[in-house]
Chain A
Amino acid sequence: MPRPARRSLRVTANVLGVLAFLVAVFPVYWMVNSSFLARNEIRNPVPTWVPFGGSLDNYRTVFETDQFVNALKMSLMVTLLTVFVALLFAFVASVAVSRFRFRGRMSFIVVLLVIQMIPVEGLFISQYKMLEAMDLLNTVIGLSLVYVAQVLPFTIWTLRGFVTGVPYELEEAAMIDGCSRVQAFFRVTFPLLAPGLVATGVFGFIQAWNEFTLALVVMTREDHRTLPLWLTTFTDVNRGTDWGGIMAGSTLIAIPVIVFFLIVQGRMVSGLTSGAVKG
């Protein structure tokens, strides 16, 4: 066997792997690093690589601005409402799609796939006009409404996989033991779906928490900004003067997402291309 070629391939792969790791991780590191630095360290021609002697002052500054706390509340309300409604609607819909065969089932699935791909920019003009007419601009309900529609297709698609994964025979066995169909579903299948509900719920959370475009369109008033909108305005005001504060803000927004993301990541990958992997 051509040993030397193999060895050099391995060395190249390792070197490139470490390089790619550095490129992937550096911006994340730099965000956290800068968030601890004082102003004179930020505004220094020579960068400070490690935040020795760093402080939490930047975080204090961020929390002291009313707008941040306000935006945090806004984001939490919109996100939680979206996740709750989307999970509820998607759950019943996924039961219909995976436990029944009915006319129009396939068309429904096709429609789900197509709308998953619709770009937000393709519809936000008329969504804006609609919410304006309904008097729902700058409201939690208005933004949540468009968010629910945004996350529903993927949520149904993923939950459907989880429901199908619980063998129907289990329900049948429960029915033989005297449960009604509904009872069998809620006593046998539902508990087994908990991980699926958590995973898709977390996915919805991340989507709504990060969303920028629709929030920009729907929340035009300053006191109704969600966190991503707050961060961009905060950046505009402080660019060049307070990158430390800006990075503290970014870190605060990113932390919950990173934590949640690491929890559900495996399931999200398989959700998007499930089946394709098996070829």
Chain B
Amino acid sequence: MSDTAPRPRRTALPYVLLVPAIAALLVALGYPLLRQVVLSFQDFGLAQQFGRPPEWIGLDNYRELVTDPYLWRVTLRSLVFCLVNAVATMAVGVGLALLMRHMARSVRILLQTGLLLAWAMPVVASLTVWEWLFDTQYGVINYLLTQMGFDFEGHSWLLRPLSFFFVATVIVVWMSVPFVAFTVYAALTQVPEDLLEAAEIDGASAWSRLRHIILPSVRPVLLVVGLLQIIWDLRVFSQIYILQKAGGSTHDTNLLGTYIYRLGIGGGEFGMAAAVAMFMLVLTVVLTSPYVRAMLKQEGEA
């Protein structure tokens, strides 16, 4: 505590120092948020885009959305996609982190180097490479599967929605696992070694050591990392958008992000798009509150 609050003297200096940051955030995020709330209560379509004044229509946008089965389908799809991806990422990431403790040093370093490379790849570059890997005609994945005796020659992976989401999941998990594996592994190295040895001498099996010592001691990290995955997987825009451009029906593969984009920027229905965006914001804030609480708790302990 000694390094903060050097002197309890009252001064305006800290507020002055915060002005640029707060101003930037207010202009680029605060004002748009306000504007979006207003927009979501207005009839703002293409006519308004060309100069007609927007009309106040109260909750009509929201009413229309709530009764639109398509929004519910997109929402449900987004939630399922988000949960499947978050669970898969956590399972693979935590699994790898646990295995890293038992690997030979050289293998562990090899794996960490590989994960680091995958992690470092820009999203757009990763998607482009995966598109090429899954390419219908000359893609390596079709080639390998055909070699293994399955008939995948000329198979189009993005055509059917389910297969489309499978590809998207593979890519998202591939991109997200490194962060989980590294963070969880870092936490695992903090588990007291003597405690584990004592348990082993007392005859605890590997499984019960995992359940009763290892997992409880990394629980806070698992919670934060898991929550971050859920929040991040709810907002997979570029992944879906770029895969949609590569093929597949937009209507059947839209998630919340791409739906907002196509409604607003694509279709000019700004009022409606704003209402969906508000819905997504509220959803995120609800999901975020436990994360913020966890971070603040550390802040208090630090």
Contacts and interface: CB of A to CB of B under 8 A. Distances in A.
Do A and B pair up? The answer is: yes
Interface of A: 1, 5, 9-10, 12-14, 16-18, 20-25, 27-28, 30-31, 34, 42-47, 85, 88-90, 92-93, 95-102, 105, 108-111, 113-115, 117-130, 145-146, 148-150, 152-153, 156, 164, 166-169, 171-172, 209-210, 212-213, 216-217, 228, 231-232, 235-236, 239-240, 243, 246-247, 249-251, 253-254, 257-258, 261-262, 265, 269, 272-279
Given A30-B129, A276-B220, A96 B17 contact: yes
B8 A101 contact: yes
Contacts of A93: 17-18, 20-22
B183 interface: yes
A25 B190 contact: no
B240 to A, nearest CB: 10
A11 to B, nearest CB: 9
Q: Chain B interface mostly helix, strand, loop or mixed?
A: helix
B257 A119 contact: yes
Contacts of A213: 237-238, 241, 257
Given A14-B107, A17-B103, A250-B128, A122 B138 contact: no
Interface of B: 2-6, 8, 11, 13-15, 17-18, 20-22, 24-25, 27-29, 31-33, 35-36, 39, 96, 99-104, 107-108, 110-111, 113-126, 128-133, 135, 137-138, 140, 143, 174, 177-179, 182-183, 186-187, 190, 200, 206, 217-218, 220-221, 224-225, 228, 231, 234-235, 237-238, 241-242, 245-246, 256-257, 260-261, 264-265, 270, 273-274, 277-278, 280-281, 284-285, 287-288, 291-292, 294-296, 298-299, 301-302
A121 B265 CA distance: 11
A125 B121 contact: no
Contacts of B281: 118-119, 122-123
A153 B288 CA distance: 15
Nearest to B201: A1
Contacts of A261: 116, 119-120
A56 to B, nearest CB: 19
- Pick from B3, B129, B221, B278 the residue with the most CB of A within 10 Å: B129
A105 B14 CA distance: 9
A250 B234 contact: no
A203 B113 CA distance: 19
A18 B110 CA distance: 8
Contact of B187 (A46, A110, A167, A276): A276
B102 A10 contact: yes
Given A20-B114, A262-B120, A279-B187, A114 B285 contact: yes
B288 A246 contact: no
Nearest 9 A/B pairs, CB to CB: A149-B28, A275-B298, A119-B235, A261-B120, A96-B17, A121-B257, A126-B36, A24-B114, A101-B5
A279 B221 contact: yes
22 contacts: A13-B102, A21-B114, A24-B118, A24-B178, A25-B118, A30-B133, A30-B140, A96-B15, A115-B25, A119-B284, A121-B260, A126-B33, A127-B28, A130-B35, A145-B24, A145-B27, A149-B25, A209-B122, A210-B123, A250-B124, A250-B129, A257-B120
A120 B257 CA distance: 9
Contact of B277 (A44, A108, A123, A168): A123
